[in-house]
């Protein structure tokens, strides 16, 4: 148990020193994957890696969809002759 606590504290310090460059969805996916992997025959690291990859993929996909939706809305407003007004 002592080793688990030491490893967790070390991981927290290591992760806090890394800048968050392109980790969109990775941390959330890694956490979920680690928990799922732990319950599936103690494969927490493998689950965390897979969760990070899937979480990042889903975040990028959502970002692309949001950008396309926003662009489509702007095009529609331009065709209708409505200027973008701030309320």
Q: What is the pLDDT of residue 3?
A: 65
Q: What is the pLDDT of residue 12?
A: 57
Is residue 62 over pLDDT 70? yes
DSSP-based three-state secondary structure for 84: coil
The DSSP code for 37 is H
How open is the CA angle 6-45-34, to the nearest 5 degrees? 90
Q: What is the mean pLDDT of residues 57-70?
A: 93
Q: What is the pLDDT of residue 37?
A: 87
Question: What is the distance between the alpha carbons of residues 25 and 64, in angstroms, rounded to a whole number?
Answer: 14
């Amino acid at each position: 148990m002592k080793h688990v606590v030491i490893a967790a504290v070390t991981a927290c310090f290591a992760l806090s020193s890394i800048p968050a460059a392109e980790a969109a969805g990775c941390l959330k996916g890694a956490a979920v994957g680690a928990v799922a992997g732990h319950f599936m025959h103690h494969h927490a690291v493998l689950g965390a890696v897979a969760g990070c990859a899937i979480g990042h993929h889903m975040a990028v996909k959502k970002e692309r969809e949001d950008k396309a939706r926003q662009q489509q809305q702007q095009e529609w407003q331009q065709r209708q002759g409505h200027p973008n007004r701030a309320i």
